Structures are given as C-alpha cells and as structure tokens.
Structure 1
Amino acid sequence: MEASKPNYLLPIISKMYCSSSQVVLVVRQRPQAVGGGGFVVTDCSQKVVFQVDGCGILGKKGELILRDGDNILLIRQLKGGLVQALNIYKKWKGYYDYEGLEKSVFSIKEPNKNACFPTNNPVRISIEPKVNGQVKDWNFEIKGHFPDKNCSIVDSLGNIIAQVGVKEEIERVMTRKDLYHVVVQPGIDQAFVFGIIAVLDYIYHESTWC
C-alpha cells in the first residue's frame, strides 16, 4: 500500500521557508575548478533562493553554511576522535542562528564506512528537540542513491517530503549530475531540505567537499 501524502506544516527552520503548494527548485553545482565551492539553488524564474558554501570557501573541512542572502544554517560534522572512529555512525548537526545564538535544530547520522562494524543503514535525520511521543529515534531517512541524483527524503511513516532527480534531456548530455532538480512537497521547510542536501553533497565528495 502506498503511503499517504503528508498534510502538515513543517517549519523546522522557519515557516517562511514553507509553501502551501509543491515547489520545484534547481541545484547548480559550482565548477570543479572552485574546490569545495558549494552550489546555488534557483526557482523556476532562475532567481537565487539558497546558496550553500563548502569548505573551499569557508576554509574548514566538515563545515557548511546555507544562506538566503543572510546566513540561515551552520552545519558541522562532529569530531569525536576514537569514539567516532569506532562508532557505526558519523554525526552532523545543523544550527540555526536565533537572536545571535546557535540553536541546534537537526542532526544527521551518516553510516561510518571506516567503523569496526560498518553498516549499510541509510542516512537518517532527527529533529531537535525530539517530538513528544516520538516512536523512532529518527524522523527522516534517505531512500535511493544521491550520487545518481535519484533519491528521496522520506519521513518515518514512508511519506516523501522531497525528491531529487534529473530531467531526461539533461541526463542524456551530462556525464556528471551537476544540474538537478528538487521537488519539495507542500508545507515542508525548504531550508531544512537543502541543509540535508548540503550534507549529502559533502558525504559523497561533490561540490562542497575538498
């Protein structure tokens, strides 16, 4: 049975990034010559909606910034030394600048391929603070394969909240997936979605990684 579509407003960063209708946004990665430069997100009229800066611009590995003109999110890979090396997951955290203070809004668990007991579990995302009555210890996960630009962000009930894809006519002329689109469902926080995509981009050594 197909999961029902979500019918809610999900302002994880802010309700100003939620739309009452489905939104299709386009991601254009910066050229490889700009090592770790990041990517730009535009709408159907080619207006820049978000920009993600990677380590080539920030000068720090494992750190990303999502902007809409102003900084929205600071995303960091947590450094855990030996504990992280042994853990089956690596962890990222997204922080929202709230009245000059860094407020943790989500965390991402990336399966650690270098751990003693590596896992094939998907990348999973948790909202912070946790929701009362939450059954699972995660709220969203990635289904599909991001490097192929064929994946979805799915909630814990199996509903797709955002989908990454490449139009067929573009795919035929491109060997790399430097230009792709993201379909965000109504009521879903677009800044949150692109914070997740920024981490996926880094994990798979794409435009934000250096």
Structure 2
Amino acid sequence: MKTQPDYSTNKILAASCLAAVLGLAACQPEGQAEKAGKKVDKAIENVGQKIDQTTEKTEQKIEAAKESVEQQSEKAGASIDKAAESSNDALEKAKKQIDQAISNSEKRVDAAKDSVVDTSKATGEYLDDSMITTKIKATLLADDFLKLAPIDVTTVNGIVKLSGAVDSEQLVGRAIGLANSQEHVKSVQNELRVKTSVPSKQ
C-alpha cells in the first residue's frame, strides 16, 4: 500500500511565497508588477517540481522497502523449510536406528532362548542316559546269573553299549534282554564276548 505524501505544508509554503511576492508587486510600479508575476509563476513551478520529486522519491523508497521485506520473508520461509526437512531426516534416521536396535535385541533373545533350550535338552539327555545306565547296572547286579559277570554299561542318547566277558552265549542274550527291557532304551549295541574255557590239567 502506497503512502501519499502530505502536500498541506508545501501548499502553505507556496501560498506564503505567493502572498509575499504579490505584496511586493503591489508596491512596485506597473512594469515591475509584470516581472513580479513571472517570478511568482516560476516560484510556483519550482515548488510543484520539488513536490513531484519528493513524491517520486518517497514512492521509490516504499517500493524498495516492500521488495526488501518480501525477499527477507522468502529467505525466512526457505530457512524454515530447510530446518523442517532436516528435522524430518533426523527423525527418520533415529527411527531406523531404533528399529535396528529392536531387531538386534529380538535376535539376541531368540538366540539365548535357543541356547537355553539346547542346553536343557542336552542336560536332560545326559540325565536320561545316566539313569538308563544306572538302572541297567542295577538290573544286571540283581540277576543271579549275571551278578558276578564283569559287564560295562555306557549309554549315549538312549543307545546302550554292553561290553565285557561272560561265560556263555546264553548269558550274552540274557544281558541284552535285560538292557532292552529298561525304559527309554532305544537300542543295545552288543560288544560282549564269551570267555574261552581253559582245559583243566589232569
């Protein structure tokens, strides 16, 4: 919006000058009055030109100020947009880092769970194998025919291995049968051998 300059002061000044010149002209002879009139016209013309120049300069300053304000507003808007974009990028980056950290934590938890399950399973199998071995040994010691036989018993994952020496094939079969009858036994590996009889000297 353009601000119109205040012409009232300039008009009063021009009127005062005109009155002064006319007053002087009235005191002069008639030839002098014509000269005074020309001076008055010239003075009014100069005042008008000065008013026009002042008005033009004022309008130029107002336009320049408006342009400066618009440029500063555009710069401020661009800075705000850039700051907002930078903040969004930072938030997006932080979100990705948080998601990655959560994913890594979940993987670690899953790995720890698997490790605990594997350990528990291995421990359970070890306990089962120990129990199987203990029961078979107790059963062999309780048997009237095998209690004195030196039979070794080992168990791995439910698979029992019998080793040692017995007096006959029948005792080998009896030992295998007793081992197979125990709970949780998957199979029996026979490494028992029959003792060779030494002929007695006569």
Scaled to the shorter chain, the TM-score interval is under 0.3
Higher strand share: 1
Q: Highest CA radius of gyration, 1 or 2? A: 2
Structure scoring higher RCO (CA < 8 A, sep ≥ 6) equals: 1
TM-score by length of 1: 0.18
TM-score by length of 2: 0.19
